[in-house]
Amino acid sequence: MPLRHIHRFRGGSAALWEICEENSFFEKQLLLSEEEQATYRSLPFGKRPPERKRRTQWLAARHVLQLLDGSEPRRSLLHRPSGQPFFAHGKGYCSLSHSGKYAAAATASMPVGIDIQKTEDRILRLSAKFITPEERLRWEGHPRQREIFTLYWTAKEALFKAAGLQGMDFKRDLRIRLPEFRDGGQLLAEIYRPARQNLQDKATYQLHSTWNLRYRLFEDCVYSIATPQNLKY
């Protein structure tokens, strides 16, 4: 299946691929390094559809990144302790994601994070892990609450991927400024980190960094892209 969607932004671009191919298609397109081959072989491989799908999604996301990057030969990927992928050679930043039938990738001249998530009812059940009481109150009873909470998840996940900071709490440390909900747009987001400990051993939090978030509803998914606002690259 060809690329379904390309999102260009200042300093980078992202793309979505609808997965209709077998693993063999992507295996022929990708020249994986020894480290990547080892990671691929370590992924679960069984008869259950979720296990087979995970391998296909892993390959498809790297195929999308290869198309965006355009380097010949393909630049292999390594991973930081935080889990962030990065190019083994050359400059630039990248990020990968997948959900359901879609694989996504982003590349940029600055730190970037992308996340895509299928809109499903289970996001409402899981929302206590990433939605603050204020965010819940703001959108309580909204007819599109499922899509809104999916946006919050992808936005915070993309922010987490781009920042690469250890020990972040999605409810405590990541603030998404969403004044209104639309099918796509650009938002501001903030990361807060502990500044010091007071006498009661309670952390005082202060603003660490400010980020741009671009999001869009695409068919039955939501994707978000995070890039820094207050850093120069």
Instruction: Return the minimum-mean-pLDDT range out of 7-11, 69-73, 138-142, 195-199.
Output: 195-199
Closest CA to 36 of 85, 69, 81, 106: 85
Residues 105 and 131 grouped into a single domain: no
Global pTM? 0.92
Residues 12 and 65 grouped into a single domain: yes
Give the per-residue pLDDT at 233.
46
Q: Which of 109, 133, 151 is the last residue of a domain?
A: 109
Q: What is the domain count for the chain?
A: 2
How far apart CA 23 and CA 194 sit, in angstroms, is 44
- Distance between start and end Cα atoms, the chain: 34
CATH number of the domain bearing residue 45: 3.90.470.20
Phi (first) and psi of residue 139, to 5 degrees:
-115, 10
Per-residue pLDDT reduced to its tens digit, 131-140: 999 999 999 9
How far apart CA 209 and CA 55 sit, in angstroms, is 35
Phi (first) and psi of residue 72, to 5 degrees:
-125, 120
Per-residue pLDDT reduced to its tens digit, 145-182: 999 999 999 999 999 999 999 889 999 999 999 999 99
Residues 104 and 124 grouped into a single domain: no
Give the per-residue pLDDT at 204.
80
- pLDDT interval class at 106 (50, 70, 90): very high
Token pair recorded at residue 40:
């691929």
Q: Which residues of 157-189 are buried (b: 16+ CB within 10 A; e: fewer)?
A: bbbbbbbbeeebebeebbbbebeebeeeeebeb
Give the per-residue pLDDT at 48.
65
With respect to residue 98, please indicate whether it lies within any of the assigned structural domains.
yes
| DSSP for residue 196 | E
Q: Using a pLDDT cut of 70, give the percent of the chain over it.
A: 92
How far apart CA 40 and CA 198 sit, in angstroms, is 46
- Residue 197 pLDDT more than 70? no
Token pair 């850093």 is found at: 231
Could you give the C-alpha distances from 76 to 37, 73, 88, 203, in angstroms and in order? Answer: 11, 9, 6, 40
Collapsed DSSP state (helix, strand, coil) of residue 199:
coil
Q: Domain range holding 34?
A: 3-109
With respect to residue 223, please indicate whether it lies within any of the assigned structural domains.
no
With respect to residue 168, please indicate whether it lies within any of the assigned structural domains.
yes
